[in-house]
Structure 1
Amino acid sequence: LTAAYYAPVLPVLRKTAIKPVVHASCATGTLRAASISCVAEAPTRVVSKEGDDAALRVIEKGLEFVTKNPDKLLEAVVGIDKGVATYDRDAVVDYFKKRPQKMVARGFDFFNAFRRVRTAWNSTDPSVDRGAVLRSELSALGPVAVKVGQTLSQRPDILPEDVCEALKALQTSNEPFPNSEAYEVIAEDFGAEGPIAPGIPATPGCNPNGPTLFKAMTSDCIASASLGQVYRGTLHDGREVAIKVQRPGALRQCLLDGSVIIVVLKAITGRYWNGDLLAIFDLVAAGIVQELDFRNEAANANAFRKSLEFLGYCDVPVSYPELTTRRAMAMEWVYGRHLSELSPEEAMRMTYMACEAVTAGLVLTGIVHADPHEGNIMLADDGRLVFLDFGLMSSVDEQIMEAFASGIQCVLSKDYVGLVQAFSDTGFIGQPIEWRAKEEDPWQLTHPDGDMVQVMAKELRERMEACPGGGSRFGALSIVLGDMGFFYQMYTPPYIILLIRTFLTLEGIAGQVDPNFNIYEVALPWAVQRALSPSTASAKDILRSSILTEDNQLEWQRVEDLIAQQQEAEREEREKEAAEAAGPTKPPSELDTEAMSSRARLMAQ
């Protein structure tokens, strides 16, 4: 950003030796690049008031020069010398503060889009398609808005089903950008000497008679999403590949939107939300900026594949390092289908595997796919579950994994005192717990009904039991906590936003194929495994105290109780299986799905 701001002196600096020096530090999980300084001394920058417009044109022209080289663009805008994308809130805001007309114009873009959507929403004309209007407006607003639309498309509990169906097009059928621009990115980043593929014209600077980069490639994109679009191609050795190309201007558009959002968040922080909204946004923005570097995505994909190898059914397309740059990447072609193309039985199986894989990441591996919408999950023709698009990922540390594992067990066992403790361990509530009788009252550390933990646990139980899906839906827990947030001091730790988005999206998919799906049941085996193999000192102490006496003797009675419980569960399962085998064969639709667990319903399918 600093280099772009000093674009008027670039003609001078280009004549001297320039050595970018980057100072970076890591604070609270967010990387912050300080600035780029140059060895060459910059001349004094004096611009008269009358010359402001001319100076701005010079700045933009200088920036245009920088953008001819994608690596230099990344260095100038994001501030890292090796081209690895990172995010710095102050640098982003400073850059666009010097271009206020862009921020104001962008603010009006959002406002006008909101007015058009509201008009369509309030219209009584049956010919007005609300979903189509909302999808069109989000698509026109750019990558950040499209990502919001992708998440909302999986939430029929928030938006009407017809609107959700319309928004699903944003996952793989967003408005594409011109093919000619994609061709130029591919040719430049992959070092094409001739045409990209037979039948595709050579891009500027390439020899029309030179060797082709690919043996074949589709002339039109086969899918288009928030940050890029995909082409299908064939390498000269016969391997089929998917070629992903970043949307031109996506980086600058995301940073501009970010600067507008930052201004809004600064205005409302402390008034309408308990927590640091800017810290939350920083984490999300850092993830999006990293997503705009496909080299990050390739590294994330490899890490994700390795983390879930133990499942045996989860896979990731292999990317090719020689065909992976910041703006373009090629990966193996996967033969498979998305959720909308599957039979009910296949959809059930894929959804179960996806939930199992993602919850394993939450409580076991600490590597979570943060964007698991329908367009990013496939069932391969050989039965494997395939995840796509690894630009947006979440990492979970050991302490938080153990807190989530404990919370999952507490929800299923209806241990609401333990659930309150899990909320404390994850940072949702503070210690001591703060409470108030009315919104306008000050926060109190005591409650007239007694111990604060017991009081909160009692209210939590009552609300969870009254809320539909309270013991099976993550979305129901979110609603309950949202309501309780008016009376209990609750916080939103920055790390949690992407995780909430992940599981609300995943639960939305599951609800389409099985209305009785219980995401906590799917996560339970991993939660138990985490509890039996703790990594933090406190969790080890808890496990030790649950099976050993104070003098390190085994608690035989407790072990016998656990064995008896397991034997009883196995007996009930055998009786259920025997009853099903002895009775008349029924199609899955006629089975008593209400009484079944998610795993049993899957097996029935």
Structure 2
Amino acid sequence: MQRRYRHLRRYRQIVEVLLRYGFDYVLAQLDLQHLIPFRRRLMPPTPPEQTRGARLRAALETLGPTFVKLGQILSTRPDIVPEDIAQELSLLQDHVPPVDAQAIIREVERELGRPLEESFALFDSEPLAAASIGQVHRAVLRDGTEVVVKVRRPGIEDVVATDLEILESLAGLIEERLRPERFSPREFVEEFTRVLRREMDYHLEAGNIERFRRAWANEPRVRIPEVYWELTTSRLLVMEYIRGVKVDDRDGLIQRGIDPRDVARLGAEVFLRMVLIDGVFHGDPHPGNLFVMDDGSLGIIDFGVVGRLDRETMSSVADLFVGVTRRDTDRVLRGLIRLGALGDDIDLRPVRRDLEELIDRHYGKSLKQLEFGPLVNEVLQLAHRHRLRLPSDLLLLGKALVTIEGVGKSLDPEFNALEVAKPWAKELVRRQLDPSAVAHRALAEGVEYLQLLGRLPEKLDRSLTRLLRGELQVRFLHEGLDRTVQRLERTSNRVAMAIVLAALIVGSGIVLQAQGPIWWGVPALGVIGFVLAAFIGLGLVVGILRSGRF
């Protein structure tokens, strides 16, 4: 009961915010007008005079951390939202007022199971950063080591859990009533839930940090913080304090005798090696997560969001790269098919035409004439236009590449990420086209096909046996009829109640003229009839008001 009340209260908050920012038509499409308060139906709020993207961004920021994260992920999904909304959602900021220091200290002590002073010699009450999920404080261990302590905000789990359950319910409504062709709302919410829960689990982030530390252990130009596992839980992360200058502080770098151009190139090389060689990359390389040490090395923090490119995806990316450089549109299409971006229902002819135009527009240009940002935007526009379903990690990669290029240009106006990427891309292609790698892939696929062929007779025999027994069933799905049937049933029920109401009123009027038991000088049967009629009429009025159609 308490859970249902909590959901209903949160639903009403969501409805109020959507109304405030002019999204009442969404409630009508989802048949949720019954959640609109009566006063709002009589006097609907006037939405702000902004673009739909700006209004959506403001609504998501008002709804809190879960919806801010939702908007940030939507900004990387051109298959779901159009370009103007995606650009606006990319401006979402994950900054909130900090939690009181005493509440944070109690949370730390609860996680460690002992008083704060037994673990830390000093704990700074002023946070270094405060976000919707967690808060970061500086501290000093008892041996004098400087660390940062990342603490999950108290009570955030319940807020996120409620919002995720509501989003799951809304996704079902969207899929059932709107039947979008571009994507599956349920699958998207499932993926979003997985990503958000991973980001909230600091044990997983600590594991990501350790993975990157091992990968870069022999590279003195890169610094990854050390994790203190004995002080780390799923709600608490304690790691080494990285002291340095923010990577986009050009003046600060020059004051320390560090050439900003070297930093720009180093940052790009590090990120491209993560992507093209390791297949695991930092998913949010904005300037707040990158620092330059006094010796010119690059410090990287915040590994809550990590992208992964498996072998198949890397091979498909290599196909895309080779296809573009050789002006081979068919190879690019094969790469997109292998990525799962092109479904069976997509007409390849317009996709091929737009790809040829995109390649021709940039073919022959020098790398200095090309930039990641415009290229990624063009690809995303093409993806949205043709309903391409690009893997989420590949979309995250596109956003991260644009961020890296922006940081590089702030340090060096002549910086070109594609020029830096050229040798790494060649290495990726060399690896993918290496005869031993090709033979290995062919052998793996051959074994898979042989296993499939071996299971085929058994599956065919089972299907024929079911057919002969009359057990084979064919199911038909009437799309869109469920909602119509529900509305017809609701309408017919109201008509029936209205008929009963009319009969009661007429009958009670007749009974008033007849003889029988008398209450307060009026025939009792007539009074009872009018009371029943009043209740039925009230029920009809409430039902109509709750439906929002009056």
Whether the aligned pair in 2 keeps the contact of 1:408 and 1:524 (CA below 8 Å) is: no
Whether the aligned pair in 2 keeps the contact of 1:363 and 1:404 (CA below 8 Å) is: no
1:355 matches 2:268 = yes
1:380 matches 2:380 = no
Whether the aligned pair in 2 keeps the contact of 1:138 and 1:149 (CA below 8 Å) is: no
Inter-CA distance 272–505: structure 2 relative to 1 (3 Å threshold): farther
Whether the aligned pair in 2 keeps the contact of 1:400 and 1:426 (CA below 8 Å) is: yes
Choose the corresponding residue for 1:291, options 177, 181, 199.
Answer: 199
1:179 matches 2:101 = yes
Aligned equivalents of 1:541, 1:474: Cα separation in 2? 36
What residue ranges of structure 2 are gaps of 5+ in the alignment?
Answer: 23-44, 77-82, 443-550
Inter-CA distance 537–262: structure 2 relative to 1 (3 Å threshold): farther
Whether the aligned pair in 2 keeps the contact of 1:223 and 1:230 (CA below 8 Å) is: yes
Percent identity between the two aligned chains: 22
1:532 matches 2:437 = no
Aligned equivalents of 1:538, 1:428: Cα separation in 2? 28
Query: Normalising to structure 1: TM-score of the pair?
Result: 0.56
- Give the aligned residue type for 2:223: D
Residues 408-434 of structure 1: per-residue CA shift (max 9 Å, x gap): 454456554433332223222247x83
Whether the aligned pair in 1 keeps the contact of 2:318 and 2:432 (CA below 8 Å) is: no
Aligned partner of 2:125 in structure 1 is 219
Q: Secondary structure at the match of 1:364?
A: helix
Whether the aligned pair in 2 keeps the contact of 1:398 and 1:535 (CA below 8 Å) is: no
Which structure's relative contact order is higher, taking Cα pairs within 8 Å and 6+ residues apart? 2
Q: Secondary structure at the match of 1:381?
A: coil
Question: What's the CA shift for 1:332?
Answer: 0.9
Aligned equivalents of 2:218, 2:70: Cα separation in 1? 31
- Give the aligned residue type for 2:381: G
Question: What's the CA shift for 1:492?
Answer: 3.1
Aligned equivalents of 2:346, 2:436: Cα separation in 1? 24
Residues 329-379 of structure 1: per-residue CA shift (max 9 Å, x gap): 211111112234333775544443333323322222121222222222222
Inter-CA distance 489–137: structure 2 relative to 1 (3 Å threshold): closer
Aligned partner of 1:231 in structure 2 is 137
Aligned equivalents of 1:227, 1:513: Cα separation in 2? 31
Aligned partner of 1:275 in structure 2 is 183
- Give the aligned residue type for 1:111: L
Whether the aligned pair in 2 keeps the contact of 1:374 and 1:509 (CA below 8 Å) is: yes
- Give the aligned residue type for 2:375: A
Residues 113-171 of structure 1: per-residue CA shift (max 9 Å, x gap): 7469962747xxxxxxx99x978972771254167469979xxx97999x999x69x46
Question: What's the CA shift for 1:403?
Answer: 1.9
1:189 matches 2:189 = no
1:13-32 to structure 2, matched below 5 A, reads none
1:318-333 to structure 2, matched below 5 A, reads 318-333=226-241
Aligned equivalents of 2:179, 2:407: Cα separation in 1? 34
Question: What's the CA shift for 1:520?
Answer: 3.4
- Give the aligned residue type for 1:185: E
Question: What's the CA shift for 1:387?
Answer: 1.6
Residues 375-401 of structure 1: per-residue CA shift (max 9 Å, x gap): 222222322212211122222211111
Aligned equivalents of 1:372, 1:109: Cα separation in 2? 35
Aligned equivalents of 1:476, 1:151: Cα separation in 2? 19
- Give the aligned residue type for 1:141: G
Aligned equivalents of 1:254, 1:242: Cα separation in 2? 25
Question: What's the CA shift for 1:289?
Answer: 0.3
Whether the aligned pair in 2 keeps the contact of 1:227 and 1:292 (CA below 8 Å) is: yes
Inter-CA distance 322–489: structure 2 relative to 1 (3 Å threshold): closer
Whether the aligned pair in 2 keeps the contact of 1:376 and 1:389 (CA below 8 Å) is: yes
- Give the aligned residue type for 1:386: G
Aligned equivalents of 2:383, 2:230: Cα separation in 1? 52
Q: How big is the alpha-carbon RMSD for the aligned residues of Structure 1 and Structure 2?
A: 4.5
Aligned equivalents of 1:143, 1:364: Cα separation in 2? 33
Choose the corresponding residue for 1:119, options 45, 48, 53.
Answer: 48
Aligned equivalents of 1:504, 1:519: Cα separation in 2? 9
Number of residue equivalences: 406
Aligned partner of 1:424 in structure 2 is 337
Aligned equivalents of 1:113, 1:494: Cα separation in 2? 31
Q: Secondary structure at the match of 1:283?
A: helix
Inter-CA distance 175–186: structure 2 relative to 1 (3 Å threshold): same
1:506 matches 2:413 = no
Choose the corresponding residue for 2:390, options 492, 497, 505.
Answer: 492
Aligned partner of 2:159 in structure 1 is 253
- Give the aligned residue type for 2:315: E
Inter-CA distance 375–382: structure 2 relative to 1 (3 Å threshold): same
Q: Secondary structure at the match of 2:388?
A: coil
Q: Secondary structure at the match of 2:120?
A: coil
Question: What's the CA shift for 1:489?
Answer: 5.2
1:341 matches 2:249 = yes
Choose the corresponding residue for 1:521, options 416, 419, 422.
Answer: 419
Choose the corresponding residue for 2:346, options 434, 449, 453.
Answer: 434
Q: In terms of Rg, which structure is larger?
A: 2
1:262 matches 2:160 = no
What residue ranges of structure 1 are gaps of 5+ in the alignment?
Answer: 1-54, 61-96, 123-129, 198-211, 436-444, 545-605
Residues 409-464 of structure 1: per-residue CA shift (max 9 Å, x gap): 54456554433332223222247x832xxxxxxxxx6x5xxxx8864542332465
Aligned partner of 1:80 in structure 2 is none
Aligned partner of 1:394 in structure 2 is 307
Inter-CA distance 147–160: structure 2 relative to 1 (3 Å threshold): closer
Whether the aligned pair in 2 keeps the contact of 1:227 and 1:246 (CA below 8 Å) is: yes
Inter-CA distance 152–460: structure 2 relative to 1 (3 Å threshold): closer
Inter-CA distance 147–294: structure 2 relative to 1 (3 Å threshold): same
Aligned partner of 2:376 in structure 1 is 477
Which structure dedicates a bigger proportion of its chain to helix? 2
Question: What's the CA shift for 1:521?
Answer: 3.1
Whether the aligned pair in 1 keeps the contact of 2:329 and 2:355 (CA below 8 Å) is: yes
Inter-CA distance 350–227: structure 2 relative to 1 (3 Å threshold): farther
Question: What's the CA shift for 1:303?
Answer: 0.7
Aligned equivalents of 1:470, 1:491: Cα separation in 2? 29
Query: Normalising to structure 2: TM-score of the pair?
Result: 0.62
Whether the aligned pair in 2 keeps the contact of 1:215 and 1:234 (CA below 8 Å) is: yes
Q: Secondary structure at the match of 1:322?
A: helix
Inter-CA distance 495–102: structure 2 relative to 1 (3 Å threshold): farther
Residues 499-521 of structure 1: per-residue CA shift (max 9 Å, x gap): 34433443444454456654333
Inter-CA distance 184–522: structure 2 relative to 1 (3 Å threshold): same
Aligned partner of 1:203 in structure 2 is none
1:367 matches 2:280 = yes
Inter-CA distance 188–384: structure 2 relative to 1 (3 Å threshold): same
